[in-house]
């Protein structure tokens, strides 16, 4: 990848957590310890303090508006308007001896259901403009790190590398039945995304591999060594069957996937020497943004 990029200076550096970058039209955000850094389209960064070390920051679409979801390692969950200025809902999950509380991974059904990776499964909430209701957790027995939803199916990657696939079976919010479990190999699944068209799911693991799962057959069709160290985040292109990945090896890689031929090719690759990459996201126009651990900048790559 040619170094055709813009550096957006921020007020703090990115923490070392998976998927530590999120974008929405006009806004970009990432976590710095107990703070959330939000940058608007005029490249003006703002810091917001949270009541605990941030483990999750994600822009999501809900029926009533676009929101920014922030979760912490001590079970605090906040839902804000997308620029973070207005708090909409706050929940504090209580920790028990049997279930420590922290959040990783997040997605929605685009309507009212919010899915979060939790200590022992997938936490599910019904979120409306004036109310939020917690539903029973979908149990996986292991900590869920990554979550994705597409077309009635819910995908979750856990700390052992297993991928759980569920199908929404009715009109009630919590009617998810398990379709399959793809057993892991002991390496956490740090990121999971559904590619454009909904035929393929991409999973990034702590051992540097990326697996591609066929949605129809619910089986892996390819596993490749993508990075020399943990894959920290994957982003799906908004209009192409293409994805980007970043890892602790400092590399940002962009991949095309030919679904008919089951072939992955590298489109671009860039290393930011001696920097752990921790977040990656596509903008609506196909440009890519990335964050790096202990680096107080957002990098926007063009073309």
Of residues 62 and 172, more confidently modeled: 62
What one-character DSSP code corresponds to residue 283? -
Phi, psi of 176 (to 5 degrees): -100, 125
Q: According to the model, what pLDDT value does residue 86 have?
A: 82
Q: Identify whether the C-beta of residue 220 lies closer than 8 Å to the C-beta of residue 160.
A: no
CA 30 to chain centre: 11
CA distances for 166 relative to 107, 118, 128, 138, angstroms: 14, 16, 23, 10
What's the predicted TM-score (pTM) here? Answer: 0.94
CA distances for 69 relative to 72, 137, 225, 261, angstroms: 10, 18, 31, 37
Cα angle: 279, vertex 142, 186; to 5 degrees: 70
| Mean predicted lDDT score pLDDT of the chain | 91
173 has pLDDT over 70? no
Q: How confident is the model at residue 169 (pLDDT cuts 50, 70, 90)?
A: confident
User: Which range, of 143-157, 164-178, 253-267, averages the lowest pLDDT?
Assistant: 164-178
Copy the structure tokens of residue 183: 């057993």
Copy the structure tokens of residue 279: 């977040």
Nearest to 208 by CA among 191, 186, 225: 225
């Amino acid at each position: 990848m040619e170094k055709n990029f813009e550096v957006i200076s921020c007020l703090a550096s990115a923490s070392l957590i998976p998927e530590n970058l999120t974008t929405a039209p006009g806004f970009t955000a990432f976590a710095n310890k107990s703070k959330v850094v939000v940058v608007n389209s005029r490249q003006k960064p703002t810091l917001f303090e949270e009541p605990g070390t941030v483990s999750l920051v994600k822009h999501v679409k809900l029926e009533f508006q676009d929101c920014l979801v922030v979760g912490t390692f001590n079970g605090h969950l906040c839902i804000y308007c997308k620029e973070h200025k207005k708090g909409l809902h706050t929940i504090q999950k209580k920790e028990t001896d049997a279930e420590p509380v922290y959040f990783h991974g997040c997605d929605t059904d685009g309507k009212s259901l919010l899915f979060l990776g939790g200590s022992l499964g997938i936490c599910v909430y019904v979120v409306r403009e004036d109310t939020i209701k917690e539903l029973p957790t979908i149990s996986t027995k292991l900590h869920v790190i990554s979550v994705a939803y597409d077309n009635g199916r819910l995908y979750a990657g856990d700390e052992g590398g297993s991928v759980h696939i569920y199908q929404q079976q009715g009109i009630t919010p919590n009617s998810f039945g398990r379709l399959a479990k793809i057993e892991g190999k002991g390496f956490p699944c740090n990121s999971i995304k559904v590619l454009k068209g909904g035929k393929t799911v991409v999973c990034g693991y702590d051992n540097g591999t990326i697996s591609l799962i066929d949605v129809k057959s619910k089986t892996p069709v390819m596993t490749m060594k993508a990075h020399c160290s943990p894959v920290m985040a994957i982003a799906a292109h908004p209009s192409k069957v293409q994805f980007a990945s970043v890892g602790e090896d400092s590399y940002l890689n962009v991949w095309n996937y030919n679904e008919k031929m089951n072939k992955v090719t590298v489109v671009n690759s860039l290393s930011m020497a001696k920097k752990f990459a921790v977040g990656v996201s596509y903008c609506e126009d196909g440009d890519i943004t990335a964050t790096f651990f202990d680096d107080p900048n957002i990098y926007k790559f063009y073309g």
